[in-house]
């Protein structure tokens, strides 16, 4: 089981209806995108952190492990706004207004990511998928989503067993041995 899924199953908010959590998490995401970066996105980021670490009871370490990948994408996207390619000053130069744009983008996207993580850390897929059919999503679409979800666990389990077998045969001693 993925750590985020295990955390969702043991969340203090597990028994709350998924619609309540979706309105909260996705509402925070929409607010992070639509409000100005200062102070709107900062307040959304703070509110999401307080909710995740406080009432939702998500351990800080698990939150950081799940948050660092989207945060990396946010930082990468913000870095592209700092420079411009081409122009009269040279091939690569700092963009005019780049730091403000990059900071605003970083605040908005990181706050929006926390809003999505609030929903993910409090709502297991096993609670969400059956309710989608009741909400009007066609049953075959939900079945495909459920099969894909279950297949991802089989893939992760197979990868883990392959790595364990490789390590048992000393396959990780060198890069060439790992590929062989």
Residue-wise pLDDT tens digits, 140-152 = 888 898 888 888 8
Residue with token string 């998490």: 25
Identify the pLDDT of residue 76.
92
Nearest CA to 26 among 159, 117, 137, 115?
115
Look at 46-50, 149-153, 172-176 and tell me which has the smallest mean pLDDT: 172-176
Beta bridge partners of 84: 93
pLDDT in tens, 81-102: 888 887 777 787 787 888 888 8
For the chain, the structural domain boundaries read 3-124, 138-180
79 with 102: CB under 8 angstroms? yes
Q: Which H helix or E strand runs over 94?
A: strand 92-94
Tell whether the model's pLDDT for residue 139 goes beyond 70. yes
What pLDDT does 49 receive?
92
**Residue 11 has what pLDDT?**
80
- pLDDT tier, 22 (very low <50, low <70, confident <90, very high otherwise): confident
pLDDT band per the 50, 70, 90 thresholds, residue 1: low
Computed over every residue of the chain, the mean pLDDT equals 85
Q: What's the maximum distance between 2 C-alpha atoms anywhere in the chain? A: 60
Q: Do 80 and 92 form a contact (C-beta atoms < 8 A)?
A: no
Q: For residue 178, what pLDDT is reported?
A: 72
Q: Are 172 and 178 in contact (CB under 8 A)?
A: yes
Beta strands in 74-172 (DSSP E): 83-85, 92-94
Cα distances (Å, whole numbers) of residue 20 to 12, 16, 100, 159: 14, 7, 35, 36
Which band of pLDDT confidence, cut at 50, 70 and 90, is reported for residue 177?
Answer: confident
Q: List the single range of 12-21, 25-34, 85-94, 135-144 with lowest mean pLDDT.
A: 85-94
Residue with structure tokens 């952190």? 49
Question: Using one digit for the tens of pLDDT, what is the confidence trace for 104-130?
Answer: 999 999 999 999 999 988 888 877 888
């Amino acid at each position: 089981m993925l750590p985020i899924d295990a955390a969702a199953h043991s969340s203090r908010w597990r028994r709350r209806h998924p619609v309540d959590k979706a309105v909260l998490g996705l509402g925070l995401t929409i607010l992070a995108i639509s409000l100005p970066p200062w102070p709107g996105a900062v307040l959304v980021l703070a509110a999401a952190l307080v909710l995740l670490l406080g009432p939702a009871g998500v351990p800080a370490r698990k939150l950081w492990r799940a948050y660092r990948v989207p945060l990396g994408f946010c930082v990468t996207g913000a870095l592209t706004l700092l420079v411009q390619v081409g122009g009269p000053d040279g091939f690569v130069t700092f963009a005019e207004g780049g730091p403000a744009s990059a900071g605003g983008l970083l605040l908005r996207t990181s706050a929006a990511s926390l809003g999505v993580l609030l929903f993910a850390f409090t709502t297991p897929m096993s609670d969400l998928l059956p309710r989608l059919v009741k909400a009007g999503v066609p049953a075959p679409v939900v079945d495909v989503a459920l099969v894909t979800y279950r297949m991802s666990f089989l893939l992760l389990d197979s990868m883990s067993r392959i790595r364990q077998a490789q390590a048992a045969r000393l396959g990780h001693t060198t890069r060439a041995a790992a590929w062989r």
